[in-house]
């Protein structure tokens, strides 16, 4: 089947050579990175977690100031009665973390997301062929409002969940295996678990996403997200709240199973959310990383529905043959990820 050149990186004049177009793409990528950092709130509250554990943090090496497994804040008489109560669950000062997640997430969601929407979808709406994956398709005004409101709603619950999770981790919650000093396990272990965590997130993204495309889950949950047939950056966080929360939990459960360095956890989270925003932006560009698919790979997922389930690599799509083929037919009612022979009726 024909797949080799379908998502090949652009070369020549369309590549990453310096030009005004490239400058805009790089600049917008930086903004989307900020937006991605706030997409669920984890990275922002992880920064707070690092600040609270700064004496224990060692990336290059050196003497550790204390025991990295200790709770950051021990119950004291100076605590409020509420925090004393919460401390038995390792959740003291949780309201602070949740407030930080709320403030930063919504600020960047509105300001940065609004800028990208204005610059590309309003200011350059009359020249979509120069930047858009689907130049002839735009969301309706109703769907644009819907994705912003639904995304804001998901951010609300996501920020609460992030605040709870990171507060528990930063206060030395039982079972948490996040560590701060590379020398605790060594550099080989650090590099190995970073690759493992990246592939774990990619596998979870693929298989959970593909499960959501089974008829029952698609019609009851994931269809909310697929009403955005030509997605924008706002679409990345606009999904059924149940789908969003389950995905968030699956992406974080490994910190209670495998010891992982703070940089590994926070870095992989940022990477995943950054490219999640990029992949939904609708801006036709390639990645600088050889393993990362171009934006049009996931944009085709929204265009053709049950195909191209991966995010950070095409590895699982190629292995399971769920990557889009030019000689196959795809539609919302053709499930399974492999499409149907051209001309065949849709599968119910």
What are 234's two structure tokens? 């706002």
Q: What is the DSSP string of 22-78?
A: HHHHHHHHHHHHHHHHTSSSHHHHHHHHHHHTGGG-BSS----SS-TTS-SS---TT
Report the alpha-carbon angle 23-27-32, nearest 5: 145
Please answer whether residues 234 and 117 qualify as being in contact, where contact means their C-beta atoms are separated by less than 8 angstroms: yes
- Do 218 and 131 touch, CB atoms closer than 8 A? no
Beta strands in the chain (DSSP E): 178-179, 260-261, 328-329, 340-341
Question: In tens digits, what is the pLDDT along the chain, a chain of 348 residues?
Answer: 554 457 876 654 444 434 455 555 555 555 554 444 445 555 555 565 566 556 666 665 544 444 444 444 444 447 788 888 899 888 998 888 888 778 877 877 777 778 878 889 999 999 999 999 999 999 999 999 999 999 889 888 888 888 888 788 778 788 888 888 888 999 999 999 999 999 999 999 999 999 999 999 999 999 999 999 999 988 988 999 999 989 988 988 888 899 998 888 878 887 887 788 788 989 898 888 888 999 999 999 999 999 999 999 999 999 999 999 999 999 999 999 999 987 555 444
């Amino acid at each position: 089947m024909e797949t080799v050149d379908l998502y090949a990186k652009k070369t020549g004049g369309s590549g990453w050579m310096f030009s005004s177009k490239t400058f805009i793409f790089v600049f917008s990528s930086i903004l989307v990175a900020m937006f991605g950092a706030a997409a669920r709130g984890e990275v922002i509250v992880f920064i707070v977690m690092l600040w609270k554990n700064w004496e224990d943090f060692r990336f290059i090496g050196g003497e550790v100031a204390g025991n990295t497994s200790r709770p950051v804040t021990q119950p004291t008489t100076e605590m409020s009665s509420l925090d004393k109560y919460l401390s038995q669950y390792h959740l003291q000062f949780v309201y602070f973390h949740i407030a930080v997640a709320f403030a930063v997430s919504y600020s960047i969601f509105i300001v940065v997301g609004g800028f990208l929407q204005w610059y590309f979808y309003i200011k350059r709406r009359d020249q979509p062929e120069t930047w858009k994956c689907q130049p002839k398709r735009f969301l309706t005004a109703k769907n644009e409002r819907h994705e912003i409101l639904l995304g804001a709603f998901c951010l609300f619950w996501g920020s609460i969940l992030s605040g709870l999770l990171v507060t528990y981790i930063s206060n030395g919650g039982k079972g948490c295996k996040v560590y701060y000093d590379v020398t605790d396990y060594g550099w080989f272990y650090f590099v190995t678990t970073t690759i493992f965590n990246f592939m774990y997130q990619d596998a979870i993204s693929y298989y959970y996403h593909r499960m959501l495309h089974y008829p029952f889950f698609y019609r009851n949950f994931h269809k909310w997200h697929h009403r955005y047939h030509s997605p924008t950056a706002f679409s990345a966080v606009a999904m059924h709240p149940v789908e969003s929360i389950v995905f968030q939990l699956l992406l974080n459960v490994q910190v209670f199973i495998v010891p992982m360095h703070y940089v590994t956890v926070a870095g992989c989270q940022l990477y995943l959310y950054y490219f999640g925003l990029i992949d939904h932006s609708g801006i036709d560009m390639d990645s600088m990383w050889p393993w990362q698919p171009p934006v049009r790979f996931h944009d085709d997922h929204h265009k053709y529905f049950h195909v191209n389930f991966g995010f950070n690599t095409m590895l699982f799509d190629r292995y399971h043959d769920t990557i889009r083929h030019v000689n196959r037919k795809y539609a919302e009612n053709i499930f399974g990820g492999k499409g149907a022979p051209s001309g065949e009726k849709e599968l119910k």
